[in-house]
Amino acid sequence: MSDMQRYSVITEKNPREIVLLRGAGCAWKKCTFCDYHLDCSDDPAANFALNRAVLAQVTGRYGRLEVINSGSFCDLDGDTMNEIVRVCRETNIRILHFECHWMHRREIPALRERFAAAGVAVKIKIGVETFDRDYRETRLCKGIGVSDPAEIAAPFDECCLLFGLAGQTVESMQRDIETGLAHFERVCVNIMVENSTSIHPDPAVIQTFVRELYPVYRDNARVDILLNNTDFGVGGQEA
């Protein structure tokens, strides 16, 4: 997967540069709907070589950088993390976004401290997918063993939601968005796309979202909506 597009620039809603790096792979790997963890390698040197080339494209044009890696920040090798610190310093990045699974939440404070020492504020995004605990844990196997949105949000700054699945309704999706906005700084809505897992998108639910909710939230500065998983400009094949 080294030929994927791994650098892009987001010019609307929280303008920032974004990089898709490669790590050792998501340590959870149990989410029934996700195959992103396939973008991985157990060779730290090869990962660092790829990641260094991707990070070399960062210019600091907005002072914000989002780092994703088909897992959590702690799945990245040490040399890559050192390189991220160096790039942030040299390009004057002041706000840095990472992703993190619930299982790694206790590693977040040390990460914040490390980057704060470099003058960088860290924002951490968690993939909640839905605040309906039964659906989230029984159907999606997210591994978030609590129900209270405030408790989930406490270690994090931003959340991802996943829509377009069987059983979701206008009411349930809107409830998830509003809950996310009440407890997190930002919400990223992802629409389910076909992949290699046994979970498939529900076209009727997607049509309902696009018709009823997309017009309500598309201009909300705190809500990113990805109708396709490559809408941020990374993840697709290089031209």
* Every domain of the chain and the residues it spans: 7-226
171-210 pLDDT, tens digit per residue, is: 999 999 999 999 999 999 999 998 999 899 999 999 999 9
Q: For residues 235 and 23, what is the distance between their CA atoms, to the nearest angstrom?
A: 14
For residue 106, give the 3-state DSSP assignment: helix
- Global pTM reads 0.94
In this prediction, residue 109 carries a pLDDT of 98
- How far apart CA 109 and CA 91 sit, in angstroms, is 24
- Give which of 17, 114, 100 is closest to 66, Cα–Cα: 17
3 state SS of 59 = coil
Cβ atoms of residues 177 and 161 within 8 Å: yes
Kindly give, in sequence order, each residue whose CB lies less than 8 Å from that of residue 154, ignoring residues fewer than 6 positions away: none
Q: Are 162 and 227 in contact (CB under 8 A)?
A: no
The upper half-sphere exposure of residue 91, i.e. CA atoms within 13 Å in the direction of its Cβ, equals 22
Q: What is the pLDDT of residues 112-170, one digit of tens each?
A: 999 999 999 999 999 999 999 999 999 999 999 999 999 999 999 999 999 999 999 99
Provide Rg for the chain, Cα atoms.
17
Fold designation for 7-226: TIM Barrel (3.20.20)
Which residues, in sequence order, are CB contacts of 34 under 8 Å at separation 6+? 26, 195, 197
pLDDT per residue over 11-42, tens digit each? 999 999 999 999 999 999 999 999 888 899 99
Burial 187-216 (b: 16+ CB within 10 A, else e): bbbbbbeeeeeebebbeebbebbbeebbee
pLDDT digits 0-9 by tens, 54-79: 999 999 999 999 999 989 999 999 99
Enter the tokens of residue 52.
Answer: 């260094």
